[in-house]
Structure 1
Amino acid sequence: MTIPFFPPDLFDDDEELLLDVVAEVATAPEQRFILGSRTAELEAAIRASVGAADAVACGSGTSALTLLLTAMDVGPGDEVIVPAYGCAPLAATPVLRGATPVFADIDPWTMVVDPVEVEKLVTERTKVIMPAHMFSVMADMPALRRIATDAGVRLLEDSAVGQGAVLAGRAAGTWGDAGVYSFVQVKAFGMPGEGGLVVTNDPALGRTVRMLRNHGQDGRTRFLHHRIGYNSRFDEIMAAFQLHRLATFARRLDRRADIGEYYTARFADLPGVVAPPPGRDGRCFYVYSLLADRRDALRDHLTAHGIGCHVYYPAPLPHQPAFARHAAPGRDWPWAALACRRQLAIPVHPRLTDAQVEHIADEVCRFALSRGVPMPTEELT
């Protein structure tokens, strides 16, 4: 049995749909391939689904962060508080705006940024707090919302991996002044291409982002540029494709959550292996990540048994060569460093069969209990 971490057949069920929308867009009389009616429909559908005032589709999740930091007038002399553990755009986007990323350590279990650490780092130079949801867990947005409000700074919610998640009845992406989603292929609402989206309850911020994504034009008068902007426009074929797939998005998320809950039940109290927190509130199940004392040995064991797995982020962001010069001297981020040594993701995508899920769980348990403790068994229901 060979189980890939990212399935190569992710869009096999939608092949005919994709061909149909290519033909539909290509033969439409308006010949509009970017920022047309389908993009507007997708924006409206996602806006309604999360209860936001505005939704703006753009070129990628990274572009969405860049557009928002620009719209928030982040620049030289400003500080943006970001997690010390996570994807490079968290640090790169402030740096590219001339600002300084200030790295906050993470919670050792959930691997999301620790609000206590964030609050310690707020100064008069702080312009934005930019938490990120991580793997299958949303950041503590109520606490971060309070910190940002008390400090009078913007809260930018990186929900690139969190689309569809809900915390305390509120959708991921809507806790901050604005949030971002990513549609890159491997994300929960991924597509066969690049794309992203900004959601916000600040109409003025939404209007600015809408201009910035299209070279600073407002969409009414072509070649009239109100601001220096970017080329971060959304593709009409992908908009039509994602519009159709939005109807089944909840079903795919439920399948991911079912698999994640099964894993968490199977891995409870395993020696040397820590599962994510249980439950569905504030969970997104984009990636299911374990923390393992013998991470490399577990990875080798799973690989030998035909199970694809993935190590994310080999070093904390402030230890990466690109960002080290921006890190405060003399500081360390012990929980981020520990996560880099212990994190291992196992497959959780919705194309997994029950038998595959059980095989994956069996082998994780077999490894953890390899010193003679009986292996627990449980049917996936």
Structure 2
Amino acid sequence: MTIPFFAPDLFESDRQVLLDLVHEIGTAPAQKFLLGEHTARFEDALRTSLGAADVVACSSGTSALTLVLHAMGVGPGDEVVVPAYGCAPLANSVVGLGATPVFADIDPWTMVADPDRVEQAITARTRAIMPAHMFSVMAGMPRMREIARQHGVRLVEDSAVAQGGVLDGRPAGTWGEAGVFSFVQVKTFGTAGEGGAVITMDPELGQAVRSLRNHGQGERFVYRRTGYNSRFDEVLAAFQLHRLPGFPALLERRARIADYYTERFAPLREQGVLAPPAGRNGRCYYVYSLLADDRDALQRYLAARGIESHVYYPQPLPHQAAFARFAPAGRSWPHAASAARRQLAIPVHPCLTDAQVEHIAAAVRAYAGARENTKERSR
């Protein structure tokens, strides 16, 4: 039996609730499918739980990044420092506004942006720095805040994968002038579709984002700026409100699985398999990623034992054709390139049974042991 990387029955227990909400909202007299009372309540629930000044729900995490950067005035002639390893929206959102992404290398173990490399990438044209939380580790936000303050640049926290994460007592999404969440189904608080949110401690920035997500309207049919169609779905807002009380339990299940993996894998470093750093401070457990010296061999070994795994970002962003023109000649990002060769994610979703988790852990350990035995025989 195959152990899937993504849970195949993620919303099974809530199926009837979702169907009832579709019928309820679809047959309501107001016929309000976007930005209605459910969206407002969802935003308020998130704002209260995070202690934020404003939360603005929008159509996706990618859209949230664009809205924030636009609201901050990022545009042609500006530079935004982003990690060299990560998802395309990190660079796409910058390029889409006519600005230039400047790529900073990552930490070789945690795979988040290296603060020293971020600071070195700042120039007179830098408008913002945009670190991203990756897999199960939050970026070093205290240092990023200090860098932004010292250099007088804006700080955008790409926390799309980190909802529920907490670093030094402060929730993910609240470290920068603005942060973002993604609600696409595979995220920690994914929904039955797509959506996102902007989180900010700045009420004025929140109001600008709120206008931009709805074509630039301040009041109905009054346009003081150009904007986007990035509105949030009422059915999904109501569904997420229903699921919100159960979110901490889902996070705790992910965290316990990750704790178990990390403990079991700690001895494997010398055998070519490196687990994420231990502990829960600054963790989010969206994806549990190993670094393997022979990633493809490990993936084949797991597949032969019915365990699905996933390779994220097989090329650093500056090596992608879409962004190659922003990669200066002679520049290299060695840690990003290493992560692209070595990263392999194993299942960590909350629907895993204890037996499945043990099977996955045992298989990874068996692979590392067999690899070490092979090396010993060849000596």
Using the TM superposition, give the Cα deviation of residue 329 of structure 1 relative to its aligned residue in structure 2, in angstroms.
1.9
Query: Match of 2:265, as an amino acid?
Result: F
1:237 to 235, 238, 251: 235
Q: CA 1:248–1:77 in structure 2 vs 1: closer, same or farther (change >3 Å)?
A: same
Mapped partners of 2:156, 2:332: distance in 1: 24
1:351-370 mapped onto 2 (5 Å cutoff): 351-370=351-370
Mapped partners of 2:13, 2:95: distance in 1: 40
Using the TM superposition, give the Cα deviation of residue 242 of structure 1 relative to its aligned residue in structure 2, in angstroms.
0.3
The DSSP-based 3-state class of the residue aligned with 2:117 is helix
1:306-317 mapped onto 2 (5 Å cutoff): 306-317=306-317
Instruction: Map Cα deviations across residues 242-296 of structure 1 (whole Å, 9 max, x no partner).
Output: 0010110000000000000000000012111000001111000000000000110
Using the TM superposition, give the Cα deviation of residue 204 of structure 1 relative to its aligned residue in structure 2, in angstroms.
0.4
Using the TM superposition, give the Cα deviation of residue 371 of structure 1 relative to its aligned residue in structure 2, in angstroms.
5.0
Number of positions where the alignment pairs a residue of Structure 1 with one of Structure 2: 371
The DSSP-based 3-state class of the residue aligned with 2:127 is strand
Q: CA 1:372–1:111 in structure 2 vs 1: closer, same or farther (change >3 Å)?
A: closer
Match of 1:56 in 2: 56
Using the TM superposition, give the Cα deviation of residue 311 of structure 1 relative to its aligned residue in structure 2, in angstroms.
0.3
Match of 1:263 in 2: 261
Deviating above 3 A after TM superposition, structure 1's stretches of 4 or more consecutive aligned residues are none
Using the TM superposition, give the Cα deviation of residue 372 of structure 1 relative to its aligned residue in structure 2, in angstroms.
6.9
Mapped partners of 1:49, 1:353: distance in 2: 30
1:14-29 mapped onto 2 (5 Å cutoff): 14-29=14-29
Mapped partners of 1:335, 1:127: distance in 2: 25
1:226 to 224, 228, 243: 224
Using the TM superposition, give the Cα deviation of residue 27 of structure 1 relative to its aligned residue in structure 2, in angstroms.
2.1
Give yes or no for contact 1:58–1:195 (8 Å, CA) kept in 2: yes
Match of 2:322 in 1: 322
Match of 2:376 in 1: none
Match of 2:302 in 1: 302
Query: Match of 2:204, as an amino acid?
Result: A
Mapped partners of 1:371, 1:286: distance in 2: 28
Q: Which runs of 5+ in 2 are unaligned?
A: 374-379
Using the TM superposition, give the Cα deviation of residue 29 of structure 1 relative to its aligned residue in structure 2, in angstroms.
2.0
Identical residues among aligned pairs (%): 69
Mapped partners of 2:338, 2:117: distance in 1: 16
Mapped partners of 2:26, 2:95: distance in 1: 39
The DSSP-based 3-state class of the residue aligned with 1:359 is helix
The DSSP-based 3-state class of the residue aligned with 1:8 is coil
Mapped partners of 2:341, 2:214: distance in 1: 41
Q: CA 1:372–1:114 in structure 2 vs 1: closer, same or farther (change >3 Å)?
A: closer
Query: Match of 1:98, as an amino acid?
Result: G
Q: 1:71 aligned to 2:66?
A: no
The DSSP-based 3-state class of the residue aligned with 1:107 is coil
Match of 1:165 in 2: 165
1:73-88 mapped onto 2 (5 Å cutoff): 73-88=73-88
TM-score relative to the length of structure 2: 0.97
Mapped partners of 1:184, 1:127: distance in 2: 28
Instruction: Map Cα deviations across residues 194-237 of structure 1 (whole Å, 9 max, x no partner).
Output: 1000000000000000000000012xx32110110000000000
Mapped partners of 1:334, 1:175: distance in 2: 28
Moved more, 362-371 or 237-246: 362-371
Using the TM superposition, give the Cα deviation of residue 338 of structure 1 relative to its aligned residue in structure 2, in angstroms.
0.2
Mapped partners of 1:58, 1:237: distance in 2: 13
Using the TM superposition, give the Cα deviation of residue 12 of structure 1 relative to its aligned residue in structure 2, in angstroms.
0.6
Instruction: Map Cα deviations across residues 351-375 of structure 1 (whole Å, 9 max, x no partner).
Output: 00000000000000000011577xx
Mapped partners of 1:111, 1:306: distance in 2: 27
Q: Which has the higher helix share?
A: 2
The DSSP-based 3-state class of the residue aligned with 1:335 is helix
Mapped partners of 1:196, 1:371: distance in 2: 42
TM-score relative to the length of structure 1: 0.96
Mapped partners of 2:104, 2:371: distance in 1: 38
Moved more, 342-351 or 22-31: 22-31
Mapped partners of 1:341, 1:216: distance in 2: 43
Query: Match of 1:70, as an amino acid?
Result: H
Mapped partners of 2:75, 2:278: distance in 1: 40
Q: CA 1:109–1:371 in structure 2 vs 1: closer, same or farther (change >3 Å)?
A: closer
1:155-194 mapped onto 2 (5 Å cutoff): 155-194=155-194
Moved more, 20-29 or 68-77: 20-29
Mapped partners of 2:139, 2:176: distance in 1: 11
Mapped partners of 1:328, 1:121: distance in 2: 12
Match of 1:379 in 2: none
Q: 1:153 aligned to 2:147?
A: no
Give yes or no for contact 1:101–1:327 (8 Å, CA) kept in 2: no
Match of 1:104 in 2: 104
Give yes or no for contact 1:155–1:176 (8 Å, CA) kept in 2: yes
1:248 to 246, 249, 259: 246
Match of 2:133 in 1: 133
Q: 1:89 aligned to 2:89?
A: yes
Mapped partners of 1:37, 1:147: distance in 2: 39
